[in-house]
Amino acid sequence: MASPSPRRPDALAAWGRAAIPADLASPGRARREQFVGAIVRAMERPAPRARASWLPSMPSEMPRLHLAFASRVTRRRLAATVAAAALLLVLVGTGFAQTAGGAVIAGITSLLGAGPAESPGAGAPGPAALPAGAPPSRAPTPRGPTQLHPAGRVETAVEGRAYHGPTPGKVHRGATPAADDPELAMQNRVFADAMNARARGDLGGAVRLLDDFLVRYPASVLAEDAHVERFRALAGMGDHRGAARAARAYLAAYGGGFARDEARRLAALDR
């Protein structure tokens, strides 16, 4: 049983329906030059350095927290603090290994009944054990947490840029908000599968998955999007009659929905 999702608030629906002047999109020549000037100035500034991807981004509205120290925290200082902490750990670790560490490790090894030959690293040849001139291992190296994006893109935290190739299977980031709720996770998976099918150009598959989604989760917060994507996919397949029917079904369920204008156009095509 799908859990009921909150409907679109009436005030926001009214806000979305409000008209805006059409001449906004055609500014005068002077305004155009003013904006182009701003673009040129921004382009002429020295190219900003890409942020090191391992550094967390600082919230843009940090001073809003009204913490005395918040506005003084910068990424540079954060980086320096992290580096100092890492150095301290290395120093402490080295000291430990040179003094008590060896004795402790030997004790643990003897307790486990493993001889020196069985200790970690002793059995398998390490880099030093490789013959001179041997090629380095080609085993894939971990590149940081991976995130699945819509449209089959995968982004790694280390690279910071999107990879636009085919998705190598399903990859999920650790704790997503939906992970706590199996129902929500399943909804997301079916909907994402439909979107992936559409992105691959498999519109028929997308329609089938969306049909399945709507039968299983008619009260989902994604149901409106599923209806919209369904009539768009049908229209994309050239099934205008089916698209019109789906658009009318959407209008019946979501008369004030975000895609009502598009649905009305499609519904009118079949009359």
Partner 1 sequence: MPPWLRLASASPEPARAHEVDLDDEALIDAVERGDTRRAHELHDRLIAAIEPTLYRVLGRREPDHDDLVQATFEQIVLTLRRGRFARGCRLSTWASAIAAHVAFNALRARRRARGAFETRDVAEVIEDGSAIDGRMIGDTEREIGIRARIRAAQVHLTAMNHDRALVLVLHDVLGHDLAEIAAMLEVSVAAAQSRLVRGRKEFHARVRAEDELEEGRHG
Interface residue with partner 1, options 95, 150, 218, 255 (CB under 8 A): 150
Tell me: does residue 250 bind partner 1 (CB under 8 A). Answer: no
Q: Which is nearer to partner 1, 95 or 150 (CB)?
A: 150
Residue 151 beta carbon to partner 1: minimum distance, rounded to whole angstroms: 4
| Range 174-193, binding partner 1 (CB under 8 A) | 176-178, 184-185, 188, 191-192
Q: Which of residues 18-57 bind partner 1 (CB under 8 A)?
A: 18-25, 27, 31-32, 34-36, 38-45, 47-51
Distances (CA, A) of 262 to 36, 120, 143, 147, 213: 33, 64, 42, 32, 22
Strand blocks (E) in 34-184: 146-148, 154-156, 162-163
Q: What angle (nearest 5°) sits at the alpha carbon of residue 12, between those of residues 8 and 16?
A: 110
The reply on whether position 69 binds partner 1 by CB under 8 A is no
**Which residue shows structure tokens 């003084």?**
72
Please choose, out of 71-79, 85-93, 109-117, 170-178, the segment that lies near partner 1 by the rule CB under 8 A: 170-178
Quick check: 155 binds partner 1 (CB under 8 A)? Answer: yes
Residue from 1, 12, 68, 215 in contact with partner 1 (CB under 8 A): 12
Structure tokens at 13: 């629906």
When the beta carbons of 11 and 215 are compared against partner 1, the nearer one is 11
| Contact range with partner 1 by CB under 8 A, out of 69-77, 116-124, 199-207, 247-255 | 199-207
Query: What burial class does residue 212 get, using C-beta atoms within 10 Å of its C-beta: 0-12 exposed, 13-18 middle, 19+ buried?
Result: middle
Pick from 207, 210, 223, 233 the residue near partner 1 by CB under 8 A: 233
Question: Which residues are paired to 147 by β-bridges?
Answer: 155
Let me know how long the chain is.
271
249 is a site residue for partner 1 (CB under 8 A): no
Number of residues forming the site for partner 1 (CB under 8 A)? 80
Q: Within its chain, how far is the Cα of 205 from the centroid?
A: 23
Q: Under the criterion CB under 8 A, does residue 13 sit at the interface with partner 1?
A: yes
Least Å from the CB of residue 142 to partner 1: 21
* Least CB distance to partner 1 at residue 91 (A): 36
Q: By CB neighbour count within 10 A (0-12 exposed, 13-18 middle, 19+ buried), where does 242 fall? A: middle
Q: Which of 173, 216, 240, 241 binds partner 1 (CB under 8 A)?
A: 173
Contacts of 123 (CB under 8 A, 6+ apart): 117
The residue range among 74-82, 96-104, 134-142, 154-162 that interacts with partner 1, by the rule CB under 8 A, is 154-162
C-alpha pair distances (Å), 174 with each of 149, 181, 185, 226: 14, 14, 13, 26
Tokens of 101: 């560490």
Q: Could you say which residues in the range 75-114 bind partner 1, by CB under 8 A?
A: none
- By CB under 8 A, tell whether 258 contacts partner 1: yes
